[in-house]
């Protein structure tokens, strides 16, 4: 795996996203690496719970916009299928996490943005550091965060989803805790230890009960979630075909204000 480091400590598996130079942003290879890591830990019998975290100063800055820019340079007949593949690949990862039979704790230190926020939301519990922030600002780039919208609405309801998706302003860890989005923030230098302790606690229950409870939460109560994720991927891909999306992505990569068409 190129961008993921996996370790096992006692009964807890740790997945470390390691693209720190680009704030752990998601590209197709990283998504594939995360799927492989989850599959490996699924098979590891001594692992009863998983901690997901990021290297460096941020948890995950979302989709690597360079990937979208590269696709935008393709002929239009080729671009839409490529965009759809990219977004569907992410949805496959989120579905794998939702169906994963062991508890997943997202240890969020720094920013969780867009698809990075979705990555945290696809986990079962979010433990933030005191400096963690959560944002879903795709609309500010002319994009649609379909998976993030589906997961935000499922986890926390339409009001919080609208606030984050349309307002685009980050929510800090203290506010996220007040809103019930995450557990109480901990000091940054304690987040891995605290997350492992939480994972051990979650994984100490009988495996059958844990697996059935996750299935109840994510597949029975959340029976429409998987359909919404698939629809969100299609909406995200379609939005990439617009002039606004092209300008938003280019402006971000060129570090300038967008000039909307």
* pLDDT score of 8: 97
Summarize pLDDT for 18-37 with one digit per residue, the tens.
999 999 999 999 999 999 99
Q: Are 101 and 211 in contact (CB under 8 A)?
A: yes
* pLDDT score of 219: 86
Residue 106 to residue 16: CA distance in whole angstroms: 10
Count the alpha carbons within 13 Å of 126 in the hemisphere toward its beta carbon. 30
* pLDDT score of 85: 97
* pLDDT score of 168: 87
Answer positive or negative: Cα dihedral of 30, 33, 34, 35: positive
* pLDDT score of 223: 84
pTM of the model: 0.96
Element (H, E) at 92: helix 76-99
Give the architecture-level CATH label for domain 4-253.
Alpha-Beta Complex (3.90)
Can you give the residue ranges of every domain in the chain? 4-253
Q: Where are the beta strands (DSSP E) in 41-82?
A: 49-54
List the chain residues with pLDDT less than 70.
none
């Amino acid at each position: 795996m190129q961008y993921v480091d996996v370790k096992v400590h006692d009964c807890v598996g740790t997945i470390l996203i390691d693209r720190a130079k680009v704030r752990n942003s998601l590209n197709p290879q990283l998504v594939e690496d995360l799927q492989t890591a989850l599959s490996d830990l699924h098979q590891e019998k001594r692992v009863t719970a998983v901690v997901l975290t990021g290297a460096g100063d941020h948890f995950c800055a979302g989709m690597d916009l360079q990937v979208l820019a590269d696709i935008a340079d393709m002929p239009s007949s080729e671009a839409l299928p490529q965009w759809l593949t990219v977004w569907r690949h992410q949805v496959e990862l989120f579905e794998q996490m939702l169906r994963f039979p062991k508890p997943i704790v997202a240890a969020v230190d720094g920013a969780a943005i867009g698809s990075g926020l979705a990555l945290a939301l696809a986990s079962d519990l979010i433990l933030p550091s005191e400096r963690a922030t959560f944002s879903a600002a795709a609309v500010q780039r002319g994009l649609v965060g379909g998976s993030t919208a589906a997961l935000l609405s499922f986890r926390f309801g339409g009001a919080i989803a609208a606030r984050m998706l349309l307002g685009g302003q980050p929510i800090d860890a203290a506010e996220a805790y007040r809103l019930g989005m995450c557990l109480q923030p901990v000091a940054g230098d304690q987040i891995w230890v605290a997350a492992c302790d939480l994972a051990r606690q979650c994984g100490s229950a009988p495996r059958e009960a844990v697996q059935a409870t996750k299935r109840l939460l994510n597949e029975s109560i959340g029976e429409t979630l998987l359909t919404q994720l698939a629809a969100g991927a299609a909406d995200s891909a379609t939005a990439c075909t617009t002039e606004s999306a092209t300008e938003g992505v280019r402006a971000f990569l060129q570090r300038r204000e967008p000039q909307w068409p």
